[in-house]
Amino acid sequence: MKNNYPETRTIDQIDEMFGVKVADPFRWLEADIREDADVAAWVAAQNEITSEYLNTLECRAGIQQRLKTLWNYEKFTLPVKRQSRIFFGHNSGLQNQFSLFVQDNEDEPRLLLDPNGWSEDGAAALADYKPAPDGGLVAYQVQESGSDWRTIRIINAGSGENLPDTLDGVKFSGVSWAKDGSGFFYSRYPQPEDGEAHQAINHNQAVYFHHIGDDQSKDRKVYARPDFPEHGFAATVSSDGETLVITVWKGTDDKYEVVLIDLAKPSLEPVALVKGFETAISYIATAEGRHYFLTDKNAQKGRIVSTPVSHPGSEWAEVVAETDSAIAAANIVGNRLFIHYMEDVKSAVRMYALDGAPIGEVALPGIGAAGGFTGEPGDAETFFSFESFNQPPTLYRLHVATGEREVFRRPDAPFDPALYTVRQVFYPTRDGTSIPMFLAHRKDIDLSRGAPTLLYGYGGFNVSVPPAFSVTRLQWMEMGGVYASVNLRGGGEYGKAWHDAGRLLNKQNVFDDFIAAGEYLIGEGVTSKEQLAAFGGSNGGLLVGAVVNQRPDLFAAAIPAVGVMDMLRFHQFTAGRFWIDDYGNPDEETHFANLHAYSPYHNIQSGRDYPAILVTTADTDDRVVPGHSFKYAAALQAADIGDAPHLIRVETRAGHGAGKPTGKIIEEYADMWAFLAEHTGLAPQLG
């Protein structure tokens, strides 16, 4: 395969960093594909040869057709209730994007927003929505081509009429309505210069209030810190409508400041409730004269605290103490605390009174992942979802006072969950730490000789990987493969210490955990080196690139998706500077040495045989810019690493993943599964 790759020119780019000379011969591939003709030509040539190769895989067309069949069932998103109106997302099956429906009382749901008509190729998406407190208006965010930049618009939920209000420059922001529905708070950045939207670093975010009917130019700036341009802000109106709670962040680490603004007296100076970016703290709700927060201060797995509204910060009371399980989320609905715990990665939800007295546990349908339980302190009901690797999300309505639940929406999926088994195992990693991993596969698979196995991991940014459902994962299992999802250190499954054990100078632990997972699967006879594939996206793409460099002999195939591959320059593009919290700063000597030691782009081992690799990215990814994958793929193809294919697939008019049209997802996964089947020996069973 090696001699068939398109020719990629190199440049004489050598940087000296802390006495180390670092070659970067493919830096020219960092240029924006929309602005640089040479990069665009390189991408076109790479896509052509990748397409030619994928066209030779006989199982590809059958996989794509079967995936369409598996995908084609009615799906719903968690409902949001405002007064007598219930809002929820809906997809009839193969629609490119979810639509927004509204239901008045017990009337039949009606279509409110259908993004499937917003663009010819389905790449315009409804990224988020927030109904006003009375349910009359809905502020919604439009996303184009998967970009993190959003436009906010407003629709009347009763008439279906769009208001003329259009707000641009929105990125990394939600919407929080004033209690009277007169407008809402949001955050925005200054508009980027022409041609810089997809690569420039973002600074100087500020909080604004938009009054309904006004032009955006009239929006009132509520809070900003020009003295700290790297700070970002998430503004939330308190449950009682009296206070604006601003959570201040400066990176991806869960360490925040909290600022309060009295909405009845906006001329008063903001109150700095929490200073110093020392702990994780997030606002839950305001009830019975107290603000409630979730924090990890003096509690690495989380606890609930409160402070009086009348004199915030004058005293703090512990409401629910830390337990042996990490808190994933907390909400107050119907004057009850709903706390979602991670118990060995599985969901458990417990209810407490506002004084912390235990009330009981929510009866979940089984072992899996729950979500939801949102609402207001005065609401009588809430909604939640429940899912597992073999079970798509079912939505439930929960009556707070009684604890009784009823099905709100249950999917009628074209497969039988009972045909699959899910189990959890624990294995020792290199330093002896016990690591959890889920294994899911068809019950009728004979594992006595091992089976093609897809090992998935993430391991970073305090992100937990629960046993959640995915049509694509289910197809891998239906085809006869084992799906292994490992909960690596660096995630949030066991609280702050688990996260810290896999970040900064401890990042190698993540790679060791993943490698140990592969060795465990082989040692237990689940699979073999000739049948094992590695898969991960974003930070997980970095993971795959790093472990393949360190143990190319362990895997038959690998797919690093939208990965962070150049660990010495990631902080120079878009959101990359935020990741310093997890990776470290390449401009500091200690972190440079650590990052340089595992950076996928810089550590490809010529002279060793590598597994088959399919790199995937997208041309409008402005989260992890595609230059990471371009440079990594070029370096793979230039290295002497054996005859297995080392290809890159570049999606067009798509971003980091969010908002990607269903049609593009099906095509991408059909390509990936066919590639992995070819190189792990999987003979796909297609229905």
Just list the catalytic residues. Answer: 538, 656
**H/E run at residue 667:** helix 662-680
3-state secondary structure of 309: coil
What's the rounded Cα separation, in Å, for the pair 175 and 178?
Answer: 10
Angle made by CA atoms 651, 653, 657, in degrees to the nearest 5: 70
What's the rounded Cα separation, in Å, for the pair 555 and 518?
Answer: 8
What are the φ/ψ torsions at residue 408 (nearest 5 degrees)?
Answer: -95, -50
Strand order in the sheet with 206-211: 176-177, 183-188, 206-211, 220-224
What's the rounded Cα separation, in Å, for the pair 131 and 654?
Answer: 27
Question: Would you say 498 and 487 are in contact if contact means Cβ atoms under 8 Å apart?
Answer: no
**H/E run at residue 81:** strand 80-82
> The tokens of 137 are what?
């208006």
Q: Identify the bridge partners of residue 87 per DSSP, sorted by sequence position.
A: 80, 102
3-state secondary structure of 145: coil
What's the rounded Cα separation, in Å, for the pair 4 and 287?
Answer: 66
What is the DSSP pairing of strand 75-76 with strand 85-91? antiparallel
What's the rounded Cα separation, in Å, for the pair 460 and 265?
Answer: 41
Question: Would you say 624 and 592 are in contact if contact means Cβ atoms under 8 Å apart?
Answer: no
449 Cβ contact partners less than 8 Å away, ≥ 6 residues apart = none
Amino acid at 108: E
Amino acid at 105: N
Burial of 446 (0-12, 13-18, 19+ CB in 10 A): exposed
Cβ count near 290 (within 10 Å):
18
> The tokens of 298 are what?
């003096």
Provide the residue count of the chain.
Answer: 687
> The tokens of 436 are what?
């959890």
Exposure string for 331-356, b = 16+ CB within 10 A, e = fewer: bbbbbbbbbbbbeebbbbbbbbebee
Measured between its terminal Cα atoms, the distance across the chain in Å is 32
**H/E run at residue 47:** helix 37-54
Question: Would you say 431 and 512 are in contact if contact means Cβ atoms under 8 Å apart?
Answer: yes
What is the DSSP pairing of strand 303-308 with strand 482-486? unpaired
Nearest to 525 by CA among 600, 594, 445, 585: 445
